[in-house]
Amino acid sequence: MTRVTIRTERYTGAMSTETPTVGRPRAFDEETVLDRATEAFWRHGYEGASLSVLTSAMGINRPSLYAAFGNKEQLFQRAFARYHDTQVANARAALDQPTAYASIEAFLRASADGLTDRDHPAGCLSIQGGLACSPENARISEILAAGRAATEAAVEERLSRAAKEGDLPDGMDPGALARFVMALSEGHAVHAASGASREDLHASVDIALRALALRQ
């Protein structure tokens, strides 16, 4: 398995040149159409979002798409990076609480809210995008897995700090707890994708938090 790195900052690669001063100006805003592409991938997955689906969702035609984004895979990488910057970043930011308990609660609550936000498709692009793919698109699965692993690493980092501060129940392993939290969040994503309500997910979070409520 080749290594995949996730671009979490704003994309500023060579392909996306600064607006030239000559020539016909673009009739679309790159971020706007990227958001629409993100939504299409989110809803249908990488393979399920054909170029016809994408272009009609984005409101541009193929040559414009290819000129602006390179190809389908690169468009997806841009979309996924943007998804990270906007959606995933919310949950990660929620980790910044004074205690481990509060951090995990905030993370799970923010996830549950994001997964059921009516402004977007239900669920999570990191999973819907393509947990399983055709052999020739295996790289997409790797990219998504790397994104999830990065989020889990952020949770673990917060919990490792908590362990050092004596802020975790005795014998609780930060890595295992991070995995538990991420797994639950991913399961919530699956549930959200099949129609679970926000309240449903928060009730599940309530139960999960009992696992942390036993102190020392």
Tell me how far, at minimum, the Cβ of 28 lies from DNA, in Å: 5
Burial 27-62 (b: 16+ CB within 10 A, else e): eeeeeebbbbbbbbbbbbbbbebeeeebbebbebee
Cβ–Cβ < 8 Å for 47, 130: yes
Amino acid at residue number 38 = T
Concatenated DSSP letters of 86-116: IIIHHHHHHT-SSSHHHHHHHHHHHHHHHHT
CA 182, CA 171: separation in Å to the nearest integer? 19
- Which residues in the 145-204 window bind its own copies by CB under 8 A? 145, 148-149, 172-173, 175-177, 179-180, 182-188, 190-191, 193-196, 200-201, 203-204
CA 41, CA 124: separation in Å to the nearest integer? 10
From 14-22, 177-185, 194-202, 205-213, span contacting DNA (CB under 7 A) = 14-22
CA 210, CA 216: separation in Å to the nearest integer? 13
CA 206, CA 202: separation in Å to the nearest integer? 6
Q: Is 50 helix (H, G, I), strand (E, B) or coil?
A: coil
CA 93, CA 96: separation in Å to the nearest integer? 6
Which does residue 207 touch among its own copies, DNA, none (CB within 5 to 8 A, set by kind)?
Answer: its own copies
The site that binds its own copies (CB under 8 A) totals a number of residues, namely 58
Tell me how far, at minimum, the Cβ of 50 lies from DNA, in Å: 3
Closer of 3 and 210 to its own copies (Cβ): 210
Q: Is 52 in the site for DNA (CB under 7 A)?
A: yes
From 31-39, 72-80, 134-142, 155-163, span contacting its own copies (CB under 8 A) = 134-142
Among 1, 2, 3, 63, binds DNA (CB under 7 A): 63
Tell me how far, at minimum, the Cβ of 199 lies from its own copies, in Å: 9
- Which residues in the 29-48 window bind DNA by CB under 7 A? 47
From 71-79, 81-89, 157-165, 178-186, span contacting DNA (CB under 7 A) = 71-79
User: ∠ CA 118-158-7 to the nearest 5 degrees?
Assistant: 60
Which chain residues interact with DNA by CB under 7 A? 20-28, 47, 49-53, 60-64, 66-68, 71-73, 134
**Site for its own copies, rule CB under 8 A:** 1, 42-45, 47-50, 53, 123, 127-135, 137, 141, 145, 148-149, 172-173, 175-177, 179-180, 182-188, 190-191, 193-196, 200-201, 203-204, 206-214
